[in-house]
Homo-oligomer: A and B are copies of this chain.
Amino acid sequence: MRSQADNRHPDLGAALRHLLSSGGKRIRPAVTLLTGIMLEADTERLVTLAAAIEMLHTATLVHDDLIDGAVLRRGIATLNSQWSPAATVLTGDFIFARAAKLAAETDSVLLMRMFSETLAVIVNGELTQMFSSRGIASRENYEQRIYAKTASLFELATRTAAILGEVGEAKIEAATRFGYCLGMAFQIVDDILDFTGEQATVGKPVASDLRQGLVTLPALYYLELHPNDADMAVILGGEEIEQVVMNRLVAAIRDSGAIHQAMAEAHRYVDTALGLLAEMPECVERQALGELARYIVDRQL
């Protein structure tokens, strides 16, 4: 990943090193590598694929942080907090280009098509969220959003890793579904942490989604429990909400059974993922994938 800015403008190299230095959890490339090794994919192509997946993720984060005006990501300064919007847009574009190059280096047209389709799904999801998701309290809308935002890329990771493994259609489908479940669980837990985490840990204000009118799973369950909640009605009405009302609502959601219900939902996805895994070849990577799936629901809680 670091070598992708070689022979380019020095500032691009600096930006790439900066972006990659924070590390992050690297959960997407880990899932890619473990799935591929479990299914006996060619190592060289698999490593290229894992790098392509992480670069695609990084490119979308660069543009997201610019759009959101985020100052910190993974505990380090975002690119947009240090560079002009123009340079940030172009750096994101450059990383897209390098993700596409890495994807092409796996030498599979099928894989390239899936890559471009997933990018379209992610971007379309962001635009849909921007234009028409505020104030919508719908389970279907929520699931579509987290699929576009997170599960689509996890699904791409495990599906393409299985394709590189040249396993049969049934195993490719199982691997796809495995990635999907991991991604859904991952985003649900992220959405729970948005309510339960401390601002210092999460790196952004508590309930940042709800503040923007975006109703995530804990809020959906809360609304089921308290369909006539006056504070929620304000949010759903798209009105400006006072800080004190917001704090009251967040406390009410935290203290309700909603958090527990949302966690149970994340656990169901992980259980489905573990069930799919049981059909896969027994090996040390399968064990590691199981641990990773469990980590997704256990982290930071």
Contacts and interface: CB of A to CB of B under 8 A. Distances in A.
Contact of A112 (B9, B90, B100): B100
A104 B112 CA distance: 6
Copies of this chain present in the complex amount to: 2
Contacts of A126: 90
Interface of A: 8-9, 11-12, 60, 63, 66-67, 85-87, 89-94, 96-98, 100-101, 103-105, 107-109, 112-113, 115-117, 119-120, 123-124, 126-128, 130-132
A-B pairs with lowest CB-CB distance, top 3: A100-B116, A97-B119, A101-B116
A12 B109 contact: no
17 contacts: A8-B127, A9-B128, A12-B124, A12-B127, A63-B93, A92-B93, A93-B123, A97-B117, A98-B120, A100-B112, A100-B116, A100-B119, A101-B113, A104-B109, A107-B109, A109-B112, A112-B112
DSSP class of A's interface residues: helix, strand, loop or mixed? helix
B108 A94 contact: no
Given A9-B131, A86-B130, A97 B109 contact: no
